[in-house]
Structure 1
């Protein structure tokens, strides 16, 4: 029963709330080690969440972990999704969604302080990397994180942040706290926008 409602008790990265308003929170996240996959949803039968099972297999959610140890790695939340970075000549430019590539990330448990401490993935599409500390403006919402809802939340959050004097320093990230099979009324999501 718990699985249908998505009430899985798992750890989330610790963050510090620097500022809280009626519309959003400003959070500081420490450096984290993540497992990520960048893919074109069209290659995975048009499934925008297609990266989930590949990352879940790496940590061993559904059986034997597909990493070189093999070591079962505890699941954490949220699952992060963002537009993939496209490297043009010198600077990384973030692509917008709509049929383009998507990057999905699982944050690895705190015991992994450096990327090389994490077990190596068997699937070469999975990349282990370190994400430096970051500051985000965050808004939380329930239900389905459809493209339209996410665009609306992102637009409003961006406007609220800029109105309050924050400088937006990158594209939004969608954070989802429940597995894909969770019933919509029980889903918790956040839109996170990096700020300086």
Structure 2
């Protein structure tokens, strides 16, 4: 019942609030170990969050953990989706196939692993090649929190507003936005916790 009403019962990342304004917070996050999958959302018909299942299988959220130990890893919140503007790096040769779209838009979905994992090599090795374990160093974000469903339109509006506020206040934006979602899909929309996070210097 609690999860339907938005209760967050899992580990969430610790952070320090550097500045709080009526429009946003500036937060500093410590380094973390992350499991991530990068995919083309069009590969998963009717489910742009297809990467979620790949990561959930790795930690064992839905059955046997798909990792080398196998070790069940506790679910944490939020689930991070890195913006689809991120493009695949250019390589050579260039192979042209007519597919209708010029650039492939890819999405990276991340699970932040529990804080007990300090280094990437401490986390169990994924059995699925699509899952990559990475370490992210200390980082700073401008963050705005909102409830409801994080539809593309709502997220776009939040990102534009946050960018405007950060630039107005003299912050230098150093990367693409990230979407952080704290609740499962069955949480009632008014009780959902979402955040748009933009990395700043």
Q: Same-fold call, TM > 0.5?
A: yes
1:8 CA displacement: 4.3
Instruction: Name the residue aligned to 1:86.
Output: 88
* 8 Å CA contact 2:3, 2:183 repeated in 1: no
Q: How does 1:47-126 map to 2 (within 5 A)?
A: 47-82=47-82, 83=84, 84-88=86-90, 100-126=105-131
Q: 2:134 aligns with which of 113, 129, 134?
A: 129
- State the Cα deviation string for residues 41-85 of structure 1 (Å, max 9, x = none): 111114111111111111111111111101011111110001345
Q: 2:185 aligns with which of 166, 180, 183?
A: 180
User: More displaced, 53-62 or 176-185?
Assistant: 176-185
* 8 Å CA contact 2:66, 2:126 repeated in 1: yes
Query: Counterparts of 1:63 and 1:112 in 2: how far apart (Å)?
Result: 21
- State the Cα deviation string for residues 81-136 of structure 1 (Å, max 9, x = none): 013452236xxxxxxxx972100000001111111110011111111111111100
Query: Counterparts of 1:85 and 1:18 in 2: how far apart (Å)?
Result: 31
Q: How does 1:131-146 map to 2 (within 5 A)?
A: 131-146=136-151
User: More displaced, 128-137 or 76-85?
Assistant: 76-85
User: More displaced, 152-161 or 1-10?
Assistant: 1-10
Q: How does 1:28-39 map to 2 (within 5 A)?
A: 28-39=28-39
Higher Cα Rg, which structure? 2
Give the TM-score taking structure 2 as reference length.
Answer: 0.88
Measured at CA, do residues 85 and 14 of structure 1 come closer, stay the same or move farther in structure 2, by a change above 3 Å? farther
SS in 2 for 1:158: helix
* 8 Å CA contact 1:57, 1:66 repeated in 2: yes
- State the Cα deviation string for residues 15-53 of structure 1 (Å, max 9, x = none): 100000001000001111000000111111141111111
Say which structure is richer in strand.
1
Alignment of 1:24 onto 2:32: no
SS in 2 for 1:86: coil
Number of residue pairs aligned between Structure 1 and Structure 2: 188
Moved runs in structure 1, 4+ residues, more than 4 A?
none
* 8 Å CA contact 1:6, 1:181 repeated in 2: no
What's the Cα RMSD here? 1.6
